[in-house]
Amino acid sequence: MSTSGEFGNPLRKFKLVFLGEQSVGKTSLITRFMYDSFDNTYQATIGIDFLSKTMYLEDRTVRLQLWDTAGQERFRSLIPSYIRDSTVAVVVYDITSALALSVYAFHLYNIIGQE
């Protein structure tokens, strides 16, 4: 596999981790970005899903590695390992949920702990 992009520019890789409680829309956001589509059916992510997209931005070829994490509580202990070496952490939450702020705080604590 080549590590250079078009025109000889080095291929830059960015790891984006999507975090949040289950059924808040992490997978839907990723699906919309990757395939420009929306699926009305809900299917829980088990563990983690990985997707990759190569794009040409500002005269550079970049590869985005999207990590779609499971939102169930039983997978929360894995979050610090998912965040490690990430470029971006996106916390998705439901603004109508009282639980959302505590889950958001949990993810924020883990993100700050990785710096």
CATH classification of the domain holding 91: 3.40.50.300
Q: Per the domain annotation, does 34 fall within a domain?
A: yes
Lowest-pLDDT range of 14-28, 82-96, 97-111: 97-111
Q: Which domain holds residue 35?
A: 6-113
pLDDT tens by residue, 44-64: 999 999 999 999 988 899 999
**Does the pLDDT value for residue 6 go beyond 60?**
no
Q: Per the domain annotation, does 38 fall within a domain?
A: yes
Q: Per the domain annotation, does 15 fall within a domain?
A: yes
What is each CA distance from 51 to 8, 14, 94, 100, 113, in whole angstroms?
A: 24, 12, 23, 26, 25
Q: Report the distance separating Cα 64 and Cα 34, nearest Å.
A: 10
Strand spans (E) along the chain = 12-19, 48-57, 60-69, 88-91
**What's this model's pTM, rounded to 2 decimal places?**
0.83
Give the three-state DSSP class for 115: coil
With a CB cutoff of 8 Å and minimum separation 6, the contacts of 67 are 15, 16, 17, 18, 48, 49, 50, 82, 86
Share of the chain above pLDDT 90, in %: 60
Distance, C-alpha 105 to centroid of its chain: 17
**Mean pLDDT computed over 103-113:** 85
Looking at residue 7, its pLDDT comes to 56
**Total tally of structural domains belonging to the chain:** 1
Q: Per the domain annotation, does 17 fall within a domain?
A: yes
Q: Which of 47, 90, 95, 101 is nearest to 65 (CA)?
A: 90
Q: Per the domain annotation, does 1 fall within a domain?
A: no
Q: Per the domain annotation, does 65 fall within a domain?
A: yes
Q: Per the domain annotation, does 91 fall within a domain?
A: yes
Q: What length does the chain have?
A: 115
